[in-house]
Amino acid sequence: MDYSIDFRALFDRLRKKWLFIVSIVMFAMGLSAVVSFYFITPIYQASTQILVSRAAADSQPSQKDVEFNKDGDYVETYSVIMKSPYILNQVIDELDLHTTFKELNKTITITQEGESHVVTVNVEHEEVSQAEKIANEIAHVFQREVPQLIGIKNVTILSTAEEQRNPFPVKPNHILNIAGGLVAGLVLSVGSILLLHYFDHTIKTEQDVEGILGAVILGTVGDMEDEGPDSKLVQSRQIERRQLNV
151 and 241 part of one domain: no
Would 101 be classed as within a structural domain? yes
Position 170 in a domain: no
Measured in whole angstroms, the distance separating CA 91 from the mean position of its chain's CA atoms is: 33
Contact between 196 and 21 under an 8 Å Cβ cutoff? The reply is no
Spatial distance between the Cα atoms of 101 and 91, rounded to a whole number of angstroms: 10
Q: Contact at 8 Å (CB) between 87 and 138?
A: yes
Lowest pLDDT segment from 28-32, 130-134, 236-240: 236-240
Residues 120 and 218 placed together within one structural domain of the fold: no
- Segment 175-184, tens digit of pLDDT: 999 999 999 9
Q: Give the integer Cα–Cα distance in Å for 110 and 84.
A: 12
Residue 60: CB partners within 8 Å, gap ≥ 6? Answer: none
Q: Which of 69-73, 157-161, 216-220 has the lowest mean pLDDT?
A: 69-73
User: Is 115 a domain residue?
Assistant: yes
Same domain, 67 and 132: yes
Structural Rg of the chain based on CA atoms: 38
Exposed/middle/buried for residue 28 (C-beta within 10 Å: 0-12, 13-18, 19+): buried
The answer to whether residues 134 and 218 belong to one domain is no
Are residue 57 and residue 155 in the same domain, yes or no?
Answer: yes
Q: Answer yes or no: do 82 and 155 share one domain.
A: yes
CB half-sphere exposure, 117, CA atoms < 13 A:
15
Does 177 map to a domain? Answer: no
Contact 99, 107 (CB under 8 A): no
Q: pLDDT by residue (tens digit) across 126-141?
A: 999 999 999 999 999 9
Q: In this model, does residue 57 exceed pLDDT 50?
A: no
Residue 35 is assigned to a structural domain of this protein: no
Answer yes or no: are the C-beta atoms of 122 and 108 closer than 8 Å.
Answer: yes
Structural domain includes residue 220: yes
**Do 236 and 129 have their domain in common?**
no
* 51 in Cβ contact with 156 (< 8 Å): yes
pLDDT tens column, 211-227: 666 666 666 666 555 55
Is 73 in the same domain as 138?
Answer: yes
- How many folded domains does the chain comprise? 2
Length of the chain: 246
Q: What is the CATH number of the domain that holds 78?
A: 3.30.70
Q: Are residues 132 and 64 in the same domain?
A: yes
Q: Which residue, of 159, 193, 222, is where some domain finishes?
A: 159
Q: Is residue 148 part of a domain?
A: yes
Range of the domain at 87: 44-159
